[in-house]
Amino acid sequence: MSRVDAALKASGQSRYVADFALPDMAHAAVARSAMAHARIVSIDTRAALASPGVIAVFTAQDVSPIPYGRALIDTPLLARDKVRFVGERVAAVVAATRQQAEHAAAMVEIDYEPLDAVFTPSEALAPGAPAIHEQPWAYKGAGAKQGDPINLIHRATHGSKEEVDAALAAAAFVVEHHYATQGVHQGYLEPQACIAHFISEDEVQIWLTTKAPYRVREMVGTCVEIDPKKIELQSITLGGDFGGKGSPQDAPLCTELSRKTGRPVKMTLRYSEDLTATNPRHPAEIDLRIGADKEGRIVAASMVAHLNAGAYGAFTPNVPAPHGAVEIPSYRVPLLYSEANRVYTNTVPRGNMRAPGAPQGIFALESAMDELALVIGIEPAELRRRNLLVTGEADASHVHWIEHRGLETLEAALAAVEPVAAPPGWLYGRGIAIYSRSTTSMASTSLRLTPYDDGCLRVETPLIETGTGSHTVLRQMLSDQLGFATTKIEIVGVSTNDLPRDAGAGASRVTAGLAAVVDVAAKAWMNRARDEAIVVEVNEDSGVDVGSYTVQVAQVAVDPGTGQMRLLELLNAVDVAKIINPLAFQMQIDGGATMGVGFATLEDLDEADGQVWAANMGEYKLPSARDVPVYKTVKVPGAIGLGTANVKNIGESTTPPVAAAIANAVFDATRCRIRDLPITAEKIYQAMKGQQ
Amino acid sequence: MNVTMTLNGRPFSAETPSESLLVDVLRLNGFTGTKEGCGVGVCGACTVLVNDVPVASCIYLAALAEGQDVWTVEGLTAKDSALLDAFVEKEGMQCGICTPGQVVSAYALGIENPKANEEEIREFMAGNLCRCTGYVTITESVRTYLASK
Amino acid sequence: MLISTPTTIGDALVEISNENTLAVGGGTSIALMLKNRLIEPDRLVLLNQVPALSGIEERDAQTVRIGATTTLLQLMHSPLINSALPVLSFAASRVGNPRVRSVATVGGAIIHGDPRQDIPPVLLSLGATAHIAGRAGERDVPLAEFFIGFMESAAGEDELVTEVTVPKIAGQRTHYTRFTPGSDDDYPTVGIAVAMTLADDGSVKDARIALGGVDSTAFLATEAASLLIGNRPTDELIAAVGESAAKSANPSDDQRGSERYKRAMVDVWTRRTLAICLKG
């Protein structure tokens, strides 16, 4: 039986935020900063106000002065006094139609006094760098203290640098390299959109392209000073997230605009605004040193990352070291120093994107593992074999997973891979990379089950269907546990007013979270009074860590005359427990890998001088059906999963290792090492020329 | 201006600004199955059929549709049940935002080259981006649809 | 904004002579510019109802006529083009995606003078001629003189390209290379079109090499081609032709490659494209 929403989606009946209209609804568009860093001298809104259809024009002084954010509260609704990146919201126009609002927004005249700007972490941390925020330590949730470098958002460290330096100095083999990754976008195909309807201080309704309605409700309420319980976030099918839609987006602004104009206000971004002014993935600079003894066993490692967080830190993930971009999740590292610096720059603010930090960090780590193997003189797979964690060992952050199945997964991958022929005249190469990701369920969600007279079951869930198939998985789990046929179960997404809680989709734990609430629901269902609806919830604040390993093998061909690289095949070996829905599971593997392929070889926001030059999809290339390789999957069954459902994570497993697998394969083919992404034909060509 | 066309086999006319794009005319008149993604004719979410060929309605002037035969995902899936069945059976979707465009393009391929092989399917469908699936199930859906013809 | 829908070339010429008026073929470029508020015309003249601007036929035994509003899809599927000028239908099949090919026209592909388009170098290599009509009369401009500069062509504001004529040359060997090392669905880093004929002794009788994407317009690498004429194509000669073509290019840095890389790719792909033509 297919997905719960398959027919609706394929026939165009599924409704997304952009498809909704309310009676008397007005439309908003914003005027954005053309400057990377400048004082706002004046804003002339007269021409915009006189433009046809315009209802009102707002600047910072007209809206709530309270900033918003997730961990760090630093983002204004509209720029006050100064702008900090090209694309920042400066003024908002409300008009009768979307076209009229956009037309008028282009007529807002902003007079600037330019300020010195910094675009990279090294520029931003240099002595004498201009302050992007005058008192960054004063923001709620600030991680930096007065006296820290002015543009440092947060520095997380783990371990002792001195001990690691000493161990590396004494190591038989050491590699030390610098790796860099570019800015890339989540690339969901549904532009961000919002409708806010401020009815009264006690009733606000919001339709938003979000995967985390309860969290958004809190953030909107705090920003516009309305009790979050009075704000209702509707449950709307989401047109792709990948980490890009966990923030409140333009909901706080639209709420203010609705409050001021007395009408429902809708704002839908043009995709160029998504690319240039939302929260894409951090570009990273990573310095990595790994030392090994004579037998090729890692003795120490140092991993230092500088993450370009852009002009606001509100939605940059605040993970502690040694996680995120400085994670070494799969190997035994007796001594580890890691340091992650998140730095303000005058560029677009960054946020979460599928496995935050890991695609950058794993590119560096898994490239460096191959570089270390070369220095030692052993096969890349053999180096990994000697260093993969085994069950019973703690990882570098001292966490014990239930089990480690890296070795089995590696052997399964190597056993399954079959060489694919390169075109005549092309060089052939093969590369491997490993990633492992832990998940705790930390379930926090709720459900209402209502029996119908005809023997069907209505199931209400606050969980947003982001596209992963979560509603289908929920139906299947309920069917298994309660004995209803899937055809007799109706899954209905409901608003934040209808059920008490949901943590939002993310961190690869949706299925595990659903499994936990379904367990509770099954028990409550058995004990219920006849024909009564039941509401159940779970809200765990801790959980057991299970890890899931992914071993990738990339096979590439390189045209020695042009540097052009073709990804012939990408094999994913994944360590699995029980799979609830094989097709949905497979699509997470293939889709995650495809996003990794884009990151590795194609996608680039092409940032320079504070501008995102790849500002439309003609320039920002997502992989198409003919850009993707043949995918092969090997499942390594028998793992211990979470809860009675015995499930593990998959959504973020196959994206991070792709870039290193390809870089390692390119090296195998050409003996050229590419340490900065994306891996383009030109980089390979120049490296090969340099070698001659 | 007033634009008149045959939409999903029925007469349709709407009053709209003369610079309107076809996607806006369709969506503002309730045909929201047609999605606007990239807005520059690249992603394919807005694909509709005009006189049996696929066009990007987000960069197609509504004025050009005057007197033409226009079909959207709603009309095509109602007319050709094999089209809907193929995408449902093979689950050629995840979030679904690109799906209407994929479905319309699959139908257009059925007109242009109903015997398309795997490579020809991928080449034709390459203009319809999908960020979720990795394209395997979409390609499978298109193949299943073509086989039904 | 007014919309005019003339049905004859004469009426279309009258309409486009109005102030601040633009002619619309497939309309995608104009739709994008309107959407981004880059243009605010008072009037659009739609050309899709002018039968005299469409159609593909043999003008005479030596010439193929392609109406300006012919779509790339029609080029792809035209039996005449497929038999007489197969490189043109091949190139059309490589452009963009099916939606682009459905609406993009031959006239539109050349009128904007966009250096990244695929059709201009192919038509240049085939020795095509653009026919331009204005209220003052008609004129023929060889394509080699048609592309003036970046997004600039020989057709004036009050003129229309009505058709393109392409000579049919017996025994002509042709090929078009569209080098897209990133996504297949992107503008080419370099586009190289070659058309050549060989004498019975294996020497090159005639050759044209046209380059796209590596200067402000598509252009003929005449010096490179002239090296071939009258000579037997040896490996050394082909290397010299590649080098000469690379020298004639004047590319700029962008996401599809640096100036240096594009120049190097002109060299490589000129050699490879010639080799394909010679192999037949």
Does residue C185 belong to the interface with chain B, where contact is any CB pair within 8 Å?
A: yes
Q: Of C28, C46, C102, which has the smallest distance from its Cβ to B54's Cβ?
A: C102
pLDDT of A24 reads 97
Chain A residues interacting with chain C (CB cutoff of 8 angstroms) = 103, 106, 561-565, 601-602, 604, 606, 613-614, 618-619, 621, 623-624, 626-627, 680-682, 685-686
With CB atoms and an 8 Å threshold, state whether C44 touches B63: yes
Interchain contact, A583 vs B137, CB within 8 Å = yes
Q: What are the Cα distances from residue A255, in Å, to A64, A180, A233, A293?
A: 10, 39, 12, 60
The shortest CB-CB distance from B39 to any of A11, A271, A469 is to A271
Whats the size of chain B, residue-wise? 149
Interface partners of chain B (CB pairs < 8 Å, 3 or more) are A, C
pLDDT tens per residue, range B44-96: 999 999 999 999 999 999 999 999 999 999 999 999 999 999 999 999 999 99
How high is the pLDDT of residue A532?
Answer: 87
Contacts of A97 (CB under 8 A, 6+ apart): A27, A53
Cβ-nearest to C255 among A604, A623, A685: A604
Nearest CA in chain A to B131: A188
- Closest chain A residue by Cα to residue C183: A627
Per-residue pLDDT, averaged over A243-262, amounts to 97
B44 CB neighbours in chain C (<8 A) are 97, 99
The neighbour count for residue A587, using CB atoms within 10 Å, is: 26
Per the CB < 8 A criterion, the answer to whether B83 and B143 are in contact is no
Q: How far is A299 from chain B (nearest CA, A)?
A: 39
Is B32–A595 a contact, with Cβ atoms under 8 angstroms apart?
Answer: no
Do B55 and C103 make contact, defined as CB atoms within 8 angstroms? yes
Q: What is the model's pLDDT at position A546?
A: 83
Three-class DSSP category at A161: helix
Mean per-residue pLDDT, A672-687? 98
Distance from CA of C104 to the nearest CA of A (A): 16
Instruction: Decide if A680 and C182 are in contact by the 8 Å CB cutoff.
Output: yes
C267: chain A residues, CB-CB within 8 Å: none
Q: End-to-end distance of chain C based on CA atoms, in angstroms?
A: 52
User: What is the distance in angstroms between the Cα of A624 and the nearest Cα belonging to chain B?
Assistant: 5
Around Cβ C240, how many Cβ atoms within 10 Å? 16
Model pLDDT for residues A322-367, shown as the tens digit of each residue: 889 999 999 999 999 999 999 999 999 999 999 999 999 999 999 9
Distances (CA, A) of A647 to A131, A433, A644, C126: 47, 24, 8, 63
Model pLDDT, residue A232: 98
Q: Is A188 within 8 Å of A239 (Cβ atoms)?
A: yes
Task: Measure in Å the smallest separation between the Cα of C112 and chain A Cα atoms.
Answer: 18
**Which positions 164-193 of C are in contact with A (Cβ < 8 Å)?**
179, 181-187
Q: How many CA atoms lie within 13 A of A118 on its CB side?
A: 24
- For residue A622, pLDDT over 80 is answered with yes
User: What residue ranges of chain C have pLDDT lower than 50?
Assistant: none
The model's pLDDT over A486-499, given as tens digits with 9 standing for 90+, comes to 999 999 999 999 99
Q: For residue C182, give the nearest of A106, A602, A626 by CB distance.
A: A602
Q: Do A682 and C37 touch (CB under 8 A)?
A: no
**B11 shares contact with chain C (CB less than 8 Å):** no
* Shortest CA gap A594–chain C (Å): 13
Best A562, A612, A662 residue to mutate vs chain C (most C CBs within 10 Å): A562
Chains A–C, number of C-beta pairs less than 8 Å apart:
47
pLDDT-derived band of residue A529, with 50, 70 and 90 as boundaries? Answer: confident
Q: Which residues of B touch A270 (CB under 8 A)?
A: 39
pLDDT at site A2: 86
Of A3, A242, A270, the CB nearest to B91: A3
CB-CB under 8 Å, B56 with C28: yes
Residue recorded with tokens 């053999």 = A382
Question: Which residues in chain B have Cβ-Cβ distances shorter than 8 Å to C35?
Answer: 21, 39, 59
Asked if B59 and C32 come within 8 Å (Cβ–Cβ), the reply is yes
Would you call A614 and C255 a contact, using CB atoms and an 8 Å cutoff? yes
Q: Please, which pLDDT band fits residue A443 given cuts at 50, 70 and 90?
A: confident
Q: Would you say C155 and C22 are in contact if contact means Cβ atoms under 8 Å apart? A: no
* Whether residue A651 has pLDDT greater than 80: yes
Token digits for A37?
């860093």
Model confidence pLDDT, tens digit, residues B101-114: 999 999 999 999 99
Sign of CA dihedral C81, C82, C83, C88: positive
Separation in Å, CA of C224 to nearest CA in chain A: 20
Q: Which residues of B touch C2 (CB under 8 A)?
A: 18
Beta-carbon separation of C255 and A564 below 8 A: no
- The answer on pLDDT for A509 being more than 90 is no
Residues of B within 8 A of A631 (CB-CB) are 134, 136
- Distance from the Cα of B67 to chain A's closest Cα (Å) equals 24
Distance between CA atoms of residues C104 and A69, nearest Å: 45
As a whole number of angstroms, the distance between CA B31 and CA B5 comes to 14
Question: Is a pLDDT exceeding 80 seen at residue A440?
Answer: no
Confidence of residue B8 (pLDDT cuts 50, 70, 90): very high
Closest CA of chain A from C167, distance in Å: 34
> Tokens 């170098």 belong to which residue?
C121
DSSP state of B66: T
Q: How far is CA A397 from the centre of its chain?
A: 22
pLDDT recorded at residue A674: 98
For A101-134, write each residue's pLDDT tens digit.
Answer: 999 999 999 999 999 999 999 999 999 999 999 9
Q: Which chain A residues touch B39 with a CB distance below 8 Å?
A: 191, 270-272, 616
In this prediction, residue A214 carries a pLDDT of 97
Contacts of C255 in chain A (CB under 8 A): 604, 606, 613-614, 619
Question: Which of A561, A618, A621 lies at the smallest CB-CB distance from C182?
Answer: A621
Question: What's the number of CA atoms in the CB half-sphere (13 Å) around residue A163?
Answer: 11
Q: CA torsion sign, A271 to A277 to A280 to A285?
A: positive
Q: How close, in Å, is residue C149 to chain B by CA atoms?
A: 25
Distance (Å, whole) CA A484 – CA A507: 30
Digit-coded pLDDT (tens) for C130-161: 999 998 899 999 999 999 988 889 998 899 99
Average pLDDT over residues B33-45: 97
Tokens of C123: 């038509």
Is B116 near chain C, with CB under 8 Å?
A: no
Q: Which residue does chain C place closest to A98, by CA atoms?
A: C35
pLDDT at A542 over 80: no
- Partner chains of C (3+ C-beta pairs under 8 Å): A, B
A 212-241 residues with CB below 8 A of B? 237-241
CB count within 10 Å of CB A189 equals 27
Question: Would the pLDDT of A458 be above 90?
Answer: yes
User: Which structure tokens are listed for A261?
Assistant: 């104009």
Averaged confidence pLDDT in chain A: 96
- Helix spans in A346-469 (H): 358-376, 380-387, 406-416
Instruction: Tell me if chain B has a CB within 8 Å of the CB of A23.
Output: no
pLDDT in the model for residue B147: 97
- Report the share of chain A in percent with pLDDT over 70: 100
At A255 the three-state DSSP class reads helix
User: Does B38 contact chain C (CB < 8 Å)?
Assistant: no
Q: Could you say which of B89, B131, B136 has the minimum Cβ distance to residue A188?
A: B131
Between β-strands A193-200 and A427-439, what pairing exists: parallel, antiparallel or unpaired?
unpaired
Predicted complex: ipTM over 0.95: yes
CA–CA gap between residue A273 and residue A253 (Å, rounded): 16
The whole-number average pLDDT for the span A638-666 is 93
Beta strands across the sheet bearing A38-44? A82-83, A38-44, A109-114
Shortest CA gap A233–chain B (Å) = 19
